[in-house]
Amino acid sequence: MAEIGQDIAKAKSLLEKGELVAIPTETVYGLAANALNPDAAASIFEAKNRPSFDPLIIHTDSVDKINQWVEEIPESLTLLAEKFWPGPLTLLLPRKSIIPDIVTSGLDRVAVRIPSHPLTLELLKTLDFPLAAPSANPFGYISPTSAEHVNKQLGDQIPYILDGGPCQVGLESTIVGIEEREVIVYRLGGLDIREIEAVIGTVKVKTHSSSNPSAPGLLESHYAPRKPFIVGDVASLLPQFLEKGQKVGVLTLSQIFREVPELDQIQLSAIGDLKEAAAKLFAAMRSLDDLNLDVILAEWMPNEGLGKAMNDRLQRASVKA
């Protein structure tokens, strides 16, 4: 298994040698490598068993550094960066040739963000290269929100996990770019669209899933538990599985079902708080997946604010490739 600690100098040394290091962010833990080193970036795809056509997000600590790696940051996106960086916002920007094709899957834009986590920001400040860092989990599985999650799944493939405690946001970053002067949201995430629109006005949401995505994290089947995962009206779905004698796990916002053992259900927020629920979503899915269950039933979240991003993850988790 990997060594877990808070040694920034050790993490820096490994990354400079082209090794992989898991890093904490406010959203989820990332599997990081030198984004300017094609071989190091390739090792991310190998460790995660990630398709090479699914691009990566690069992470750094300042806009000055980003300007070394992109052609421009359009005015409207600059306003978002000034407001929300460091934070759960990723910008899709025209890349310079210094960014290897493997990082962008050959596309002409690169996804960039400045994460809001003190330990990782301290690490990034010591580096003269950005870190490519998708979620630190096997491809398609639930994203990790603790160092232990990473070690359980990828600990035998990476030398070091930088432990920053549990992630505070728990959903991946919101991805934003521009097409024909129109601001586009490509992936719903930890930054509420309403907050974005308060800064730059109305945006278009275009989270189309495909086998050849234009931005990271847009594949149809993603974030999925190993067990059958069904999203819908839990009260209506439960009887058909219980009547067959199946062991059912339940994931809800705030409901509790008396028909299901207490240990087999997880309530994300007793008071229905979507921010609290979002921070717990992936850990809850992982906990249920680890139980001796036949099926997991989940309910849709209120389709507003962070609930929209949570529903996006629930939908992708329920799709079977």
Binding site feature residues: 27, 50, 59, 113, 133, 135, 143, 173, 187, 223
The token duo for 148 is 């232990």
181: Cβ–Cβ under 8 A, 6 or more apart, which residues?
none
Q: Where are the alpha helices (DSSP H) in the chain?
A: 8-16, 38-48, 63-69, 75-84, 101-104, 118-125, 147-154, 193-200, 234-242, 274-289, 306-318
Report the Cα 195 to chain-centroid distance in Å.
19
Instruction: With beta carbons less than 8 A apart as the criterion, state whether 260 and 238 touch.
Output: yes
Binding-site annotation: residue ranges for L-threonine:
27, 113, 133, 173
First to last CA, the chain: 29
Instruction: With beta carbons less than 8 A apart as the criterion, state whether 70 and 110 touch.
Output: yes
Instruction: With beta carbons less than 8 A apart as the criterion, state whether 209 and 219 touch.
Output: yes
The half-sphere exposure of 317 on its side-chain side, counting CA atoms within 13 A, is 32
DSSP code per residue over 13-68: HHHHTT--EEE--SSS-EEEEETT-HHHHHHHHHHHT--TTS--EEE-S-HHHHHH
Cα 224 to Cα 15, 31, 273, distances in angstroms? 29, 18, 23
Q: E strands along 169-222, which residues? A: 174-179, 182-187, 204-205
The half-sphere exposure of 188 on its side-chain side, counting CA atoms within 13 A, is 24
Binding-site annotation: residue ranges for ATP:
50, 59, 135, 143, 187, 223
- Which helix (H) or strand (E) is 235 found in, with range? helix 234-242
Helix-then-strand count for the chain, H and E: 11, 15
